[in-house]
Amino acid sequence: MYHDSEEWQITPLSGNTGQAYMGVSKDEKVFFKRNTSPFIAALAAEGITPKLKWTQRTYTGDILTAQEWEEGQLLNKQDMANQEVIDLIRSIHQNDSLLNLLKRAKAQESSPLDLIKDYYQGLPHSLKFHSYFNHIIQQMEHMIDRDFLEIDYCICHGDLNHNNFLLTNDQHLYLVDWDNVKIADPLFDICYLLCHYFSPTEWMQWFNLYEFPITDSFQKRVKWYSLLACLNLIKEYYAEDRHYQVNETIVLLKNIYEN
């Protein structure tokens, strides 16, 4: 792999996409990503992801981006309740300039029905025909009313996983891996994080730290997006053969649905 006549030593980085690499050339180290979101330049300019160095099309037709390599550490599960994490998520959700940029790039808003369609994309046969899951989805479709469609949609990262938060050695917090970015209800992002990391008894504490507006529609939207988050987590865990986590999340899904 080359750029400006330099040869790079490439090392694949762990992750589920197989698209990220560390590149080393002489004394320079960069983070390479193949076919990442074109939105990455704007995110880097805002300081949400590390600085963009260059973008280049490879001979195979892929788009390769190089970003500054930042020394630091990924967050762990316990960090997802830290105020710094919550503040970063809220600042992204409230960033109108990035939202307008995405809209100008013809990004469509993802309604609840769109998100259900996304769930069915690539869904394994045994989950697609699971009677209990399909019953819940039918009920979710009946729950959708004007309150779900008339709220302000925002930029959602789409995968608020602790491994996507990088805290650098100089204490700057970045959010990386924007391949699943959407324009949607902020609860799409938040409920995924809450179902992933916290028991329902801890959710209101997190919402209070976020200073989330508690409106008349809040409870039913939290319930709806939590059910969706559980279904998406079951889909992820199933694909990774993590059977204990699948069963754990089914219990959570059942508790949310029945209460």
The model's pTM:
0.87
Q: Is the pLDDT of residue 206 over 90?
A: yes
State the pLDDT at residue 258.
96
Q: How far apart are CA 207 and CA 86, in angstroms?
A: 9
CATH of 73-258, one of 3.90.1200.10, 3.40.50.2300, 3.60.40.10, 3.20.20.210: 3.90.1200.10
79 vs 29: CA distance, rounded Å: 27
Domain chopping of the chain, boundaries: 2-69, 73-258
- Predicted confidence (pLDDT) at residue 204 exceeds the cutoff of 90: yes
pLDDT score at 53: 73
Structure tokens given for 179: 């391949």
pLDDT on residue 66: 76
- DSSP per residue over 26-90, as a string? TTEEEEEEES--TTHHHHHHTTSSPPEEEEEE-TTS-EEEEEE---EEE--GGGGG-HHHHHHHH
* pLDDT for residue 44 is more than 90: no
**Contact partners, residue 218, CB within 8 Å, separation at least 6:** 212
| Rounded Cα distance, 207 and 90, in Å | 11
Given the residues 87, 147, 159, 177, select the one marked as catalytic: 159
Supply the mean pLDDT for the chain: 88
CATH tag, 2-69: 3.30.200.20
Residue 32, pLDDT > 80, answer: no
Q: Quickly list H helices, 23-82.
A: 40-45
The least confident of 7-11, 47-51, 82-86, 181-185 is: 7-11
Q: Is 159 a catalytic residue?
A: yes
2-69 and 73-258: identical CATH topology:
no
- State the sign of the Cα–Cα–Cα–Cα dihedral 170, 71, 162, 201: negative
> What are phi and psi for residue 95, nearest 5 degrees?
-85, 95
**120/235 Cα distance (integer angstroms):** 9
Which residue carries 């045994």 as its tokens?
126
Q: How many other C-beta atoms can be found within 10 angstroms of the C-beta atom of residue 102?
A: 20
pLDDT of residue 65: 76
Cα–Cα distance for residue pair 247/28, rounded to 1 Å: 45
Label residue 138 by pLDDT band (50, 70, 90).
very high
Give pLDDT, residue 50: 85
